[in-house]
Structure 1
Amino acid sequence: MLNRYTWRTGVLEIVMIAVAIVFFIPVYVLLNLSFRESNDPAGPLALPSTFTLQNYADAWVQGHLGNALVNSAVVTVVSVLGLVVCASLAAYPLARVGRGWSKALYFTFLVGLLLPFQLALIPLYTTMRDIGLLGSVWGLVLYYVGLQMPFSIFLYTGFLRVVPLEYEEAAAIDGAGALGTFWRIVFPLLRPITGTVVILNVVTIWNDFLTPLLYLSGSGQQTIPVTLYSFVGQYVSQWNLVFAGLVISIAPILIVYFILQKTVIQGFASGLKG
């Protein structure tokens, strides 16, 4: 029997539509301002007097967004790949071994979630300087892998604890080693949580501003957030180029999210279920 459309359903739909409108307003303002000329007197909610695509071309050329996109992509992709491989391998024995040392090590990793990263900014800066990684995207990769490792291990460990042991026992009977069992049997089962780890870390690394500003300052290699900051000056701020650059910068993240959307939801659902 079909559910009846009640007044509660109608109220719920109205509330959902209102919430959607509230969330859509910033997106509308972002797109609206990116298509208007710098001297347009209209308010941020009013449509532009003249629509123009020149802001996107100017932002791309003046801000060297192509180079910044490449740098952000290299840092994000390599960092996330390192996190997926290292965190999943580290979480496997933490979830499967029931001895005291594994629990102590697991809680040691969790301490990394509680400590603010600002505490290590100066020591890490001096360390990067001493080993010659300042001004290099590979220094950022090393930093992000270390920074996001506790969070990624936390997600993988929680998921692995609800994965049945029967698959691994069957592989062991067939003569597979621990590493082979992990990559051939266990890791494919981690696809939902891997999607969650990927998208959460991609968003965090891609949008980070402070770390690239600190470690890449003075070099020709800059990421998207730092490059967009160059349009804002003490005396002149090119807001039309800022908003156009923001649209360009968020496009790759939106594409990745839409591709992994189903996997991310499955990962969260599985984590909640466990």
Structure 2
Amino acid sequence: MFRYTRITFAREILMFVVAIVFVIPIYVLVNLSLREGGDVTSPLVPVFSPTFDNYADAWSQAGLATALLNSAIVTVVSVTIIVVISSMAAYPLARIMSGLSTTVFWLILAGMLIPFQVALIPLYQTMRDVGLLGSLWALIIFYCGSQVPFSVFLYTGFLRALPREYEEAAAIDGAGTLRTFRSVVFPLLRPITGTVVILNAITVWNDFLVPLLYLSGTPQQTVTVALYAFVGQFVSNWPVVFAGLVISIVPVLVVYFLMQKQIIRGFAGGLKG
């Protein structure tokens, strides 16, 4: 029987306090986005006459429609490529227990230790030489190269915790390695795939430095770069700026809430592995 004790009450109070700490920044962001331009009261004071004109101004003046589309294209294509390459690379690394496999695994993980800022300028020169500078493909290639090592690490840990019985049954039925991975293994990777998708999507969507460097001077821009230019142009109208920020985080929040069960299961499976 469950007994409600003082310890349980203390834990509930602690969780409530933690929830308040995480909710306050979101409250401030939404609260400021609904204010008039001349309202200079404290950000914690609730707005009593909200206006949604700030969202219309942010959408039209900052060009968020095009920027959101560019960010969505870069994020979707990058995450798709990362999932395909990382899952296929992790499968033999998790199943082939040999010295070569272990060495390759640690070499891939070594890519996580290299600061991405070190490669920004050399890659910038490479993208310029091959004619991809100012293109969304420059961002996609960069994100795929920088995020694959971490994704391989997550997939490998999860795969090592999966039993081999299903794969052995598929082999007995005559399925090859690629068919076994596509039809048997990859569907079992759904929890960790959700984790890989949301972590990489947030990283790609929120990145500012790489799009600013690789798309500078071109009409192409992601949502973070659009908001940066928007702040510089309308620095005195902060409610419009915060309205643009709210618009930019809505897609990520929607994806997260749709995949939160897979994310939690993926983290649990990865830690177990």
Q: TM-score if structure 2 supplies the norm length?
A: 0.97
Deviation track 1:182-241 (CA, whole Å, cap 9, x = no partner) reads 000110010110000001000100000000000011111111111111122289443212
> Which position in structure 2 is the counterpart of 1:104?
103
> Which position in structure 2 is the counterpart of 1:150?
149
CA contact (8 A) 1:40 1:49 kept: no
Q: By how many angstroms is 1:170 displaced?
A: 1.1
> Which position in structure 2 is the counterpart of 1:80?
79
Distance 1:88 1:175, change over 3 A: same
> Which position in structure 2 is the counterpart of 1:222?
221
Counting only pairs closer than 5 Å after superposition, residues 86-165 of structure 1 correspond to structure 2 as 86-165=85-164
Distance 1:185 1:36, change over 3 A: same
What is the identity, as a one-letter code, of the residue corresponding to 1:82?
Answer: I
> Which position in structure 1 is the counterpart of 2:248?
249
> Which position in structure 2 is the counterpart of 1:175?
174
Instruction: Give 5+ residue unaligned stretches, structure 2.
Output: none
**Structure 2 residue matching 1:98: 3-state secondary structure:** coil
CA distance in 2, matches of 1:120, 1:132: 18
The answer on 1:46 being equivalent to 2:21 is: no
> Which position in structure 1 is the counterpart of 2:232?
233
The answer on 1:267 being equivalent to 2:266 is: yes
Q: By how many angstroms is 1:66 displaced?
A: 0.4
> Which position in structure 2 is the counterpart of 1:192?
191
CA distance in 1, matches of 2:201, 2:40: 37
CA distance in 2, matches of 1:262, 1:49: 36
What is the identity, as a one-letter code, of the residue corresponding to 1:134?
Answer: L
CA distance in 2, matches of 1:233, 1:58: 15
Note the aligned Cα RMSD (angstroms). Answer: 1.2
Q: By how many angstroms is 1:106 displaced?
A: 0.5
**Structure 2 residue matching 1:114: 3-state secondary structure:** coil
Distance 1:49 1:171, change over 3 A: closer
Distance 1:235 1:242, change over 3 A: closer
Moved more, 108-117 or 228-237: 228-237
CA distance in 1, matches of 2:242, 2:128: 34
Q: By how many angstroms is 1:19 displaced?
A: 1.3
Corresponding residue pairs, total: 273
CA distance in 2, matches of 1:6, 1:69: 49
What is the identity, as a one-letter code, of the residue corresponding to 1:78?
Answer: V
CA distance in 2, matches of 1:171, 1:264: 28
Instruction: Give 5+ residue unaligned stretches, structure 1.
Output: none
> Which position in structure 2 is the counterpart of 1:258?
257
Percent same amino acid among aligned pairs? 65
Distance 1:174 1:264, change over 3 A: same
> Which position in structure 2 is the counterpart of 1:201?
200
CA contact (8 A) 2:58 2:240 kept: yes
